[in-house]
Chain A
């Protein structure tokens, strides 16, 4: 058991933090909510040049061959500044799917461009009820005789669909030969593909994507026909844990912000932070932070080492979801009126905490998973 970073990890953490603090102030986050694209292309380019988009990939694709733990450290820092970027959906989720399930041709042609930030991919996974339905995908891909699929259906909450070169869906294949859940790459400019901006509580760029007789070449299958859900399941633990990293960073920032505020804000002729009721709120926040840090880093470490960690991943997401949300509630409470304004940063984290809680399975969902693995049923 060791709880400290190596000096390399510490250096990496510092370099992530320095860059992001400088390049992604909260004003940029606000600006990007109003912005049509929703992220800064120049910042995206810089991150690609720093090779952050290829952190865990093989050298042959232009990757850095760093550990998953290093990527987790990056996501913690991303969460701290709430960096708006397609990094998660493109370079991590889509990239990992292709890396794990794609054939060599696909990897050779697509991964370098994803890693260089020249192509943006996104994943469209949720049905109209917001369910991840990969096991029995309600989006339909009918195999037609012209060696192509006709795709029909709707996906919700698809990040950055408006700028995506390709959208990956997990569709239910019907028609000749084998069928079932299958991953398909769909050109973002396909005829019959319609994206509608969804105004959500975070204001981030997320879309409804409707597929209306969209023609997809048969060669656009990632991995095996009928095994799309399995390919997807392979990367979900990593996606879930990186989300936890992002949440950990956000949580950390809320604690810093709140503690700084109550040290400076004076009422009754004394700092708010000298009042015990406020101190105990702060102690609770610190406890949520430390507990989340331990349980999330444990999952990240075990994943990084390739050790079995199904339960630990579920524990991390279940706990982080609650802890982050509760911390933002406390943060809102002790930062008072100013904390409830647009100009103050607190609301960005309050929103992020809720959106993250609902992503990749709620705390209830993950507790059900923990219970399943306790061997009591």
Chain B
């Protein structure tokens, strides 16, 4: 039990901090909020690649640095606090790499991993998981991948695909066994799809925050070579569940709105016992302390995930618990921020009356998505109850 970092870890944190500060000072990005993973800059990713900060935890033989997940958590904490634009490589680094290392062929590993760690052109991924009739029940995917000689032919539709319009490759779950007697979880496989393939149509979905982040992706006789099948045929669901742990374990679920908390602190700092309505100010203080406590807990949960992974164990329950806790906190943060600022909190950025340089109204609008994406809070609670506590499936 140790609730402090080693000297080496503290030094590494400082190194990342200095890098972020220098980049901000040089104007390579400004502090923003909400669309964390969507903020991308290949130039920024290239600078991280130079430092060996992409693929930090991947073993050396897989083009990585072989460093610990705790170190990666430290790095991400410093990057994410200020919303550094890491979207170009973030998803591939977080879950495509580890999946390929676990399940990929030698060719897939050498082709994709080397490109991802160098932030090369055409190395951005999106996740082709959800379908109109397969959301929380991911095993119910019906997009079909049918063998035809040397290729698989893909037909079907994906939805809620973040950044499909930017990505070079898609990581897809598709049905590969059509025998009705086979359980659906044993009937799908994972593929990598070149998003420029003929037969792919991408249609944007504008979310209720007014942004284009989701897409629908249609597959019409898309032919992909068999070498793009990842892992074993019909074992895609099991493989994907391992990947979801990485998707849920990290700080991105805690810190997407950290800049709001930072600005809110500055705002509250200007308040005082004399200047405010006493009852209101007392409430504000209590709320701020509660948020501070929950951030502290969320942070410990994230570091514990990293520590569990470093022990060579699966963090499935812990990651589910972390994601549920942290995303609910982020929703509450934006709510409290609007309540503290009052009516002006609705004014979006770009006017002289906007309360914050970061768009608080947009953050509030994005709120509902946090507790849905990457496993809804309800699905996560099922995992905690069934896998963690051993309760029987309903």
Which residue of chain B has its CB nearest to the CB of A72? Answer: B1
Q: Which of A1-21 contact B (CB under 8 A)?
A: 1-6, 9
Q: How far does the Cβ of B68 sit from chain A's closest Cβ, in whole Å?
A: 10
Smallest beta-carbon distance A320→chain B, Å: 11
The answer to whether A367 and B289 touch across the interface, beta carbons within 8 angstroms, is yes
Q: Which residues of A contact B3 (CB under 8 A)?
A: 1, 297-298, 301-302
How many of chain B's residues touch chain A, expressed as a range? 35 or more
Instruction: State how many angstroms separate the Cβ of B273 from the closest Cβ of chain A.
Output: 8
Secondary structure dominating the interface of B: helix
> Which residues 68-92 in A have Cβ within 8 Å of B in the complex?
69
Shortest Cβ distance from residue A76 to the other chain B in the assembled complex, whole angstroms: 12
From 299 to 334 in chain B, residues with beta carbon under 8 angstroms from any chain A beta carbon are 300-301, 303-304, 306-308, 311, 318, 321, 324-325
Q: How far is the CA of A275 from the CA of B392 in the complex (A)?
A: 9
Interchain nearest-CB distance for B110 vs A (Å): 33
Interchain pairs with CB closer than 8 A, number? 147
B60-86 vs A, CB cutoff 8 Å, 1 = contact: the mask equals: 000000000010000000000000000
Are B385 and A263 in touch, CB under 8 angstroms? Answer: no
Bound Cα distance from A271 to B300, whole angstroms: 34
Which residues of A lie under 8 Å from residue B285 when comparing CB positions? 367-368, 371, 377
Stretch at the interface among A47-55, A226-234, A243-251, A286-294: A286-294
Smallest beta-carbon distance A184→chain B, Å = 35
**Interface membership of A165, Cβ < 8 A:** no
Cα distance A286–B70 in the bound complex, in angstroms: 24
Task: Report the minimum CB–CB distance from B263 to chain A (whole Å).
Answer: 12
B293–A367 touching, CB < 8 Å: yes
A279 in contact with B265 given A2-B1, A294-B297, A319-B297 (CB within 8 Å): no
8 Å CB contact of A298 from B300, B378, B394: B300
Q: Which of B349-394 contact A (CB under 8 A)?
A: 378, 380-382, 384-386, 388-394
Q: Residues of B contacting A291 with CB < 8 Å?
A: 297, 301, 325
In-complex Cβ contact of A69 among B1, B388, B393 (8 A): B1
Interface bits A251-277 vs B (CB < 8 Å: 1, else 0):
000010001001100000011011110
- By a beta-carbon cutoff of 8 Å, the part of chain A in contact with chain B is 1-6, 9, 69, 255, 259, 262-263, 270-271, 273-276, 278-280, 282-284, 286-287, 290-291, 294-295, 297-298, 301-302, 305, 307, 312, 315, 318-319, 364, 367-371, 374-377
Task: List chain B positions with a Cβ less than 8 A from chain A.
Answer: 1-5, 9, 70, 265, 268-269, 272-273, 285-286, 288-290, 292-293, 296-297, 300-301, 303-304, 306-308, 311, 318, 321, 324-325, 378, 380-382, 384-386, 388-394
